[in-house]
Amino acid sequence: MNIIKRSGVETSFDVEKIVDAIRKANDSVKESEKLSEKEIEAIADKVERNCREMSRSASVEEIQDMVENQLMKYQAYSMARNYITYRYKRQLVRKSNSTDEQILSLLECNNEEVKQENSNKNPTVNSVQRDYMAGEVSKDITKRFLLPADVVDAHEKGIIHFHDADYFAQHMHNCCLVNLEDMLQNGTVISETMIEKPKSFSTACNIATQSIAQIASSQYGGQSISLAHLAPFVQISREKLRKQVRAEMEAIGKSMTEKEINDVAEIRVREEINRGVQMIQYQVITLMTTNGQAPFVTVFMYLGEVPEGQTKDDLALIIEEMLNQRILGVKNEKGVYITPAFPKLIYVLEEDNIRKGSKYWYLTELAAKCTAKRMVPDYISEKIMKKLKQGNCYTCMGCRSFLTVYKDENDKFKFYGRFNQGVVTLNLVDVACSSERDMNRFWEILDERLDLCRRALMCRHDRLKGTPSDVAPILWQHGALARLKKGETIDKLLYNGYSTISLGYAGLCECTRYMTGKSHTDPEGTPFALEVMQRLNDACAKWREETKIDFSIYGTPLESTTYKFAKALQKRFGIIPGVTDKNYITNSYHVHVTEQIDAFEKLKFESQFQALSPGGAISYVEVPNMENNLEAVLSVMQYIYDNIMYAELNTKSDYCQQCGYTGEIQIITDSHGKLVWECPNCGNRDQDKMNVARRTCGYIGTQFWNQGRTQEIKERVLHL
């Protein structure tokens, strides 16, 4: 059994240290108030049993809380007071150098919490360590100077989560939809170098990937690009290649008909599309941004974004190549093809591709094959999205964040070139438990917590106000998001719907269970869950009216925070069956991962919550290996088209470098009670010698996860 020290380092549990601490406290009181040696050992034994029952590594703070509780049970009040006073004094001492300890522990690669904080960042790499080190300083400054004390306190207690505090000290926003069309058609500037309109498809792809890297280093969240913005450059290459072929034939004195010239040129066009798509895939994977990870980029594949004709046919060619290359995968260090995390792919289901016999059905079949093999693409239903978004269909940013519908000064819908200011997430489970099942009190507490979230979100907004465009020229001056002048602030882009700011939420499932005694999938629990969602939407509408800032409800993709929230709930409220008895809480509105429900019922049920989560939502179904059952995959895709806006299928795609096993790497409990990954074929448990890919928050992670998220992955039931 292990414990987690304050620095984040995980070490072996030693009950003698608890006994020693109690003895020291015992020595501090007069003889008549002392505990016997037998009582001291009984307290230590009880604490040890409590730690073992947690099914995870307890923190030092949690163990000290247990000691305090036991001292009070033995009515050792003076001793407990001295123990608490000692803890407080030590806390004051530690506060002065806690940042130093955190930084040193991550530099030595022994901080377990940091090592598993982000499933796509390798904490042993220098660039990641540099980012984490800067992040620790930023968090320290943020907590001590930049945020109100009650917001910091609520964040520390897991009542809310103030996302990305490690970047808050800088004037940076969250995520965006890149206006690649503007950058390519009108030129851009990268690293003070003028980039003119490209004269070929492959050059356009190269500019796109260079832009992606620069953008990723200027913000902390994900970005999305559309293949529709690259499609016009296929025709430019086609015309260029036709001239080349004609000139080559004339040079060698060979006569060819126009059709023959075009046929040869078309072969070369296909080759260029292959090279361009390969450039996007490999550069995105191999580029390293300043925060030490590959750019968190989403590629949008929507035939309906371009008009009928040659451009649409060319877009179909690009999509086909993108899917084929993703099916192939990328080679790991052993030369074996594996599933990469990025770029994430989104494929839009529409009338032209959803039924057998439709014009682009072959692309949908290819998408199904890709999903079965590599977990992507995810799927947006054009039909459902248009119903929810005023007739529009557009991509989300990164894991699930959707912009609100917006019209520019010319009364035209605009999505690309817009962004999200940031996120604060409300722990709904804490609201419920704090109410002690008093429904009136629940709504009062929810309103209080919403006011807290509003003030925290305004801190995010105010931090961006006054930001000069010069801090990230590619974003604000050279077309990725805007064409502002040097020295001009980004303030006008923060209001009236141009950008959004997100009220996140988590644990609707457990919140409903606590307040109603039923799952939110139960007809007796669903109305309450929907009422909670409506209350969040009403709050955002009120704030929007008051501030002219586009507040929006966002189904938070908790990663490491799911563990943090779970630990905080257990500390505040103890173990409540079905509510706080896991080391994770459920993301957003999702059905609990252990609940038995079939794929179609799950998607249909969750669709009503997507409508109430306009700032971001995604649903998934957990499936086994589907490579030999593509008909079932296609059936789920068709159901998505008719019933839900945005969904995905979670398959498994792993590889053991030790023995060459390809299949599902298992999660088992080791002798210390810790969840570890193990190859079912050879027993390999070395994470450095296996490739595991799991979708955890709407995107694929490949660097493993903390104990809470690992437990959630282990307990997922199949929906198909």
On whether residue 216 sits in a domain, the answer given is yes
65 and 195 within one domain: no
Which pLDDT tens digit goes with each residue over 125-182?
666 666 767 777 788 888 888 999 999 999 999 999 999 998 899 899 999 999 999 9
Q: For position 582, what pLDDT does the model report?
A: 93
- Residue length of the chain: 720
Separation CA 335–CA 327 (nearest Å): 16
On whether residue 292 sits in a domain, the answer given is yes
Which pLDDT tens digit goes with each residue over 573-583?
999 999 999 99
Lowest mean pLDDT segment, chosen from 40-44, 112-116, 137-141, 279-283: 112-116
Separation CA 507–CA 535 (nearest Å): 15
Q: Which residue has the tokens 């039931």?
A: 717
Domain boundary among 551, 566, 601: 601
Q: Which residue has the tokens 């309109």?
A: 197
State the residue range of the domain holding 16: 2-96
Separation CA 257–CA 249 (nearest Å): 11
Between 548 and 86, residue with greater pLDDT = 548
Q: Which CATH number covers residue 163?
A: 3.20.70.20
490 and 579 within one domain: yes
198 and 91 within one domain: no
157 and 22 within one domain: no
Contacts of 287 (CB under 8 A, 6+ apart): 209, 212, 213, 216, 294, 295
Domain count, the chain: 2
159 and 268 within one domain: yes
166 and 60 within one domain: no
On whether residue 699 sits in a domain, the answer given is no
547 and 398 within one domain: yes
- Would you say residue 52 has pLDDT above 50? yes
Q: For position 283, what pLDDT does the model report?
A: 85
Domain boundary among 548, 568, 601: 601
Q: For position 119, what pLDDT does the model report?
A: 47
339 and 227 within one domain: yes
Beta-bridged to residue 468, according to DSSP, are 489
Q: For position 545, what pLDDT does the model report?
A: 98
On whether residue 439 sits in a domain, the answer given is yes
Which pLDDT tens digit goes with each residue over 335-370?
888 888 789 999 999 999 999 999 999 999 999 999
Coil, helix or strand at residue 696 = coil
198-203: average pLDDT: 97
Q: Which residue has the tokens 């260090």?
A: 333
| Structure tokens that stand for 132 in this block | 């984490």
193 and 78 within one domain: no
Separation CA 606–CA 613 (nearest Å): 11
pLDDT over 90 percentage in the chain: 64
Average of per-residue pLDDT values in the chain: 90
258-281: average pLDDT: 96
On whether residue 49 sits in a domain, the answer given is yes
Please answer whether residues 174 and 421 qualify as being in contact, where contact means their C-beta atoms are separated by less than 8 angstroms.
yes
On whether residue 626 sits in a domain, the answer given is no
Q: For position 446, what pLDDT does the model report?
A: 98
Separation CA 491–CA 524 (nearest Å): 46
How confident is residue 698, by pLDDT bands cut at 50, 70 and 90?
low
Q: For position 288, what pLDDT does the model report?
A: 54
Q: Which residue has the tokens 């009108």?
A: 186
Active site positions, annotated:
174-175, 397, 399, 401, 420, 554, 559, 698
Separation CA 184–CA 378 (nearest Å): 26
Separation CA 289–CA 286 (nearest Å): 10
How confident is residue 506, by pLDDT bands cut at 50, 70 and 90?
very high
Separation CA 536–CA 557 (nearest Å): 17
Task: Report whether the peptide linkage leading into residue 343 is cis, meaning its omega lies within 30 degrees of zero.
Answer: yes
232-239: average pLDDT: 98
340 and 256 within one domain: yes
| Structure tokens that stand for 222 in this block | 């994900």
On whether residue 662 sits in a domain, the answer given is no
Kindly report the three-state secondary structure assignment for every residue of 325-394: HHHHCEECCCCCEECCCCCEEEEEECCCCCCCCCCCHHHHHHHHHHHHHHCCCEEEEHHHHHHHCCCCCC
On whether residue 250 sits in a domain, the answer given is yes
183 and 81 within one domain: no
Neighbour order of strands in the sheet with 690-691: 662-663, 654-656, 690-691
Gyration radius of the chain over CA positions: 27
CA 269 to chain centre: 36
Separation CA 396–CA 348 (nearest Å): 12
466 and 353 within one domain: yes
Domain boundary among 569, 601, 633: 601
Question: Which pTM value belongs to this model?
Answer: 0.84
- Would you say residue 692 has pLDDT above 60? yes
Which pLDDT tens digit goes with each residue over 390-439?
999 999 987 679 999 999 999 999 999 999 999 999 999 999 999 999 99
